[in-house]
Structure 1
Amino acid sequence: LPLLILSYCTCTHPKCSGYSTFRLCAKRLPCALPIFAHLDAGSSTFNNVVKTNLDEVRAVIEDFNKVAAPYAKLWKGQTNPAFESWSQDRADVELLTIICNLSFNRAVPNPRLLNIHYEPFTSGVYGETSYEQMQSIIDEIGFRESDVFLDLGCGVGQLVMYVAGGTRVKRSVGIEINDLPASCGEAMGKDFLKWMKWWKKKCRPFELLHGDMLDERYRNVITQSLS
């Protein structure tokens, strides 16, 4: 059970601390919360931990790990409704969205810098799709295992990863021409895989390509996704 290794998550980034991950674990394992009142969602102690204070974060995580240990032993080898989200090999919509947001925040320290790479009122700017909208597309279309998802102008590639984690497509591919989004996408991809592994969730192969979608070298990638 991933809860047992939370004490090794020592990141102090305000958007992605071990405490943030801990709170997510607590939410997805509610049966453990009543055992110690100071971790209850309504507790001021629980809510007022300074997320950039490593000692405070480590203390509350170590407390939680002590409680989680017997539950981890209980979970092994049996099915328990309280542990359903942990035992599934695919991430549900809520967890997948959280993982994507977590990885994005770690890879893109200042999202506003991404906007300066796109000149207003040009063909390079054509809107952005949210995770909610992408999920609606997934639900409507119902991607098959033989499908290839292709995002032209993928930015940092968050939708490419979302599809890889939320469907069973053959593979998910994104192409981005601008340097900064492509660089952030590479970092996000590594972080996304790390968190998927940490939660013990599977995802389909994905690839983020840096270049012009009109370049001849991407012709096969694009045409294969259409076949």
Structure 2
Amino acid sequence: MEPCITALELVKSNLGFYAPLSRDAKRASPESSLSLEITPLEYPGERACEKYALVSCTKALEFDPIADIYATTQMIVEHSIPSKYKASFGDARNGILRSIQRAIHKKSLDDLKVALAAWNENMVELKAKKVFAPCEFSGPAASYHMVSHVLEQAYSRSVAPESNLLNVYEGFSNNVYGEVKHNFVNTIIQEARIKPNHVFVDMGSGIGNVVLQVAAQCLCDTYGIEVSDNPAKLAAKQKKEFISRMSRYYAKPCGRITLKHSDFLEDAEMHEVIKTADVIFVNNYAFNAELNQNILAKFLDLKEGAVVISLRSFLPVDRPTARSSRRSNAIESIFTVKEHYFGRDCVSWMNEGGQYFIHTVDRKQLAKRYK
């Protein structure tokens, strides 16, 4: 198992963006004078413990270790700890969670250290009882909220430090970079009814967010393929961090993940995978007509019932006039397509909502047409 990138490492790599945890600390201290208060944070995984520096973040968009502690402890109690053990951690009104929350709000270093010591003691006791041990291998899939949190942790540690590389692309080309967000991926999972025995493919997978989320939430086999160098490089780093955190830190299972740095139009191995796919996702929002037609040609051998979800439709949306104008011998004729809508803040390139399309392979409609 690859070692995780710790919160302490992130702070040490950018000491100039941090200050002592105190209400009086309004600006970053000189790197040479910043004394780091370091504490461990126990996770559900066996021997899983992450080191944190208890410092304030002084620059927006930089990694905030205190916010990460708060979100992580809340997430573990809500989504990892069995119900009969939750009471020992309290809630937002009392107990350990309340102590952590209050110390963070007061920016009290001493109070936070005491609260985290109590947290660690309780977590060690639960791990000694083997409460979490089976989950990594046989437990249920992590919840959407848990997976989203682990993705944010993996992103902040593996992608964010080099996120400027994602802006290196040719404008108005097929390689313009954009991400779909966790809430939209969750919608896709529900709409496509992705199951553990399914094969999921992301054509143009970027930094791998969609593939990782589907693998963790659905426990299915997932494949992503990305042609651009920088996103593919960061995807490989994020995959290592995400899998380590899911399995090693949170003791949660994950489906098999395969990421390739290649052209999905030319890669022979992926062509064979596509033939077996149950669900394919294509973020073709910025693709030109020629590329969309070339992608459509890859779908000729899809199995019956396979689903293709895209941001632009590959064929006219199913209405009587659209169906009557479709050529019976065209690739498009194997699909039915339905138009759906996503809400605000679902994609990185715009705040408002938009459309997406679900294409389903249904060759029976051809047979009916010739009866």
Change in CA separation of 1:26 and 1:219 when aligned onto 2, cut-off 3 Å: closer
The residue number in structure 2 matching 1:139 is 190
**Aligned letter for 2:105?**
N
Provide, for residues 184-209 of structure 1, a one-character-per-residue CA deviation record: whole Å limited to 9, x for no partner.
Answer: 11111011111111211111101110
Q: What is the DSSP-based 3-state SS (H/G/I as helix, E as strand, rest coil) of the residue aligned with 1:150?
A: strand
1:86-105 CA distance string (max 9 Å, x none): x9531101000011111111
The answer to whether 1:39 aligns with 2:99 is yes
Q: Distance in 1 between matches of 2:224 and 2:97?
A: 46
Q: Structure 1 pair 67/207, CA: closer, same or farther in 2 (3 Å)?
A: same
Q: Where does residue 175 of structure 1 map in the other structure?
A: 225
Q: Does 2:267 match 1:219?
A: no
- In structure 1, what is the equivalent of residue 250 of structure 2? 199
Higher strand share: 2
Q: Which residue of 2 aligns with 1:10?
A: 51
Task: Give yes or no for contact 1:16–1:106 (8 Å, CA) kept in 2.
Answer: no
Aligned to 2:240: 190
Distance 2:140 2:202 in 1: 25
Count of aligned pairs between the two proteins: 211
Indicate the residue corresponding to 2:10 in structure 1. Answer: none
Q: Which residue of 2 aligns with 1:61?
A: 116
Report the 3-state secondary structure (helix = DSSP H, G, I; strand = E; otherwise coil) of the residue aligned with 2:119. Answer: helix
- Secondary structure at 2:51 match in 1: coil
**Whole-Å Cα distance in 1 between the matches of residues 75 and 210 of structure 2?**
25
- The alignment partner of 2:120 has SS state of helix
What percentage of residue pairs aligned between the two structures are identical? 22
- In 1: Cα distance, 2:52 partner to 2:231 partner: 23
Higher relative contact order (CA 8 A, sep 6+): 1
Matched, 1:166 2:224: no
- The residue type equivalent to 1:64 in the other structure is W
Q: CA, structure 1 residues 110+20, in 2 after alignment: closer, same or farther (shift >3 Å)?
A: same
Contact 1:134 1:159 in 2 (8 A): yes
What amino acid is the match of 1:167?
C
* Cα distance between partner residues in 2 of 1:48 and 1:56: 9
Deviation, structure 1 residue 76: 4.0
Q: CA deviation at 1:152?
A: 1.1
Larger relative helix fraction: 1
Q: Per-residue displacement from partner, 1:84-126 (whole Å, max 9, x unpaired)?
A: xxx9531101000011111111111142430223x22222237
CA distance in 1: counterparts of 2:212 and 2:97, whole angstroms: 37
Q: Kindly tell me: are residues 116 and 64 of structure 1, through their superposed partners in 2, closer, same or farther at Cα, counting changes over 3 Å? A: same
* Partners of 2:112 and 2:233 in 1: CA distance: 30
The normalised TM-score by structure 1 is 0.75
Q: CA deviation at 1:127?
A: 4.8
1:183 is displaced (CA, Å) by 1.1
Map Cα deviations across residues 20-55 of structure 1 (whole Å, 9 max, x no partner). 2464224542631434587242x1x223559xx9x9
Task: Please tell me the residue identity of whatever aligns with 1:151.
Answer: D
CA gap of 1:27–1:181, structure 2 versus 1, over 3 A, is: closer
Task: Give the CA deviation at 1:161.
Answer: 0.5
Given the superposition, is the C-alpha separation of residues 4 and 114 from structure 1 closer, same or farther in structure 2, using an over 3 Å criterion?
closer
Secondary structure at the residue paired with 1:172? strand
- TM-aligned CA distance change 1:106 to 1:135, over 3 Å: same
Summarize the Cα distance change of 1:127–1:183 in structure 2 as closer, same or farther, 3 Å threshold.
closer
Please identify the structure whose Cα radius of gyration is greater: 2
Letter in 1 for 2:257: F
Secondary structure, counterpart of 1:10 in structure 2:
strand
Aligned pairs (5 A) from 1:8-157: 8-10=49-51, 15=63, 17=65, 20-21=68-69, 23-29=71-77, 31=87, 32-33=89-90, 34-36=94-96, 39-41=99-101, 43=102, 45-47=103-105, 61-70=116-125, 76=131, 89-108=140-159, 109-117=161-169, 119-125=170-176, 127-157=178-208
Give the distance between the partners of 1:69 and 1:8, measured in 2 at CA: 10
Distance in 1 (CA, whole Å) between partners of 2:234 and 2:256 is 19
Comparing 55-64 with 201-210, which one deviates more in the overlay? 55-64
Unpaired runs of at least 5, structure 1: 78-86
Task: Spell out, residue by residue over 1:144-173, the C-alpha distance to the aligned partner (whole angstroms, 9 max, x if none).
Answer: 34421111111111100000001132x100
Contact 1:18 1:57 in 2 (8 A): no
Asked if the contact 1:165–1:203 (Cα under 8 Å) also holds between the matched residues in 2, the reply is yes
Give, in angstroms, the shift of residue 74 of structure 1. Answer: 7.0
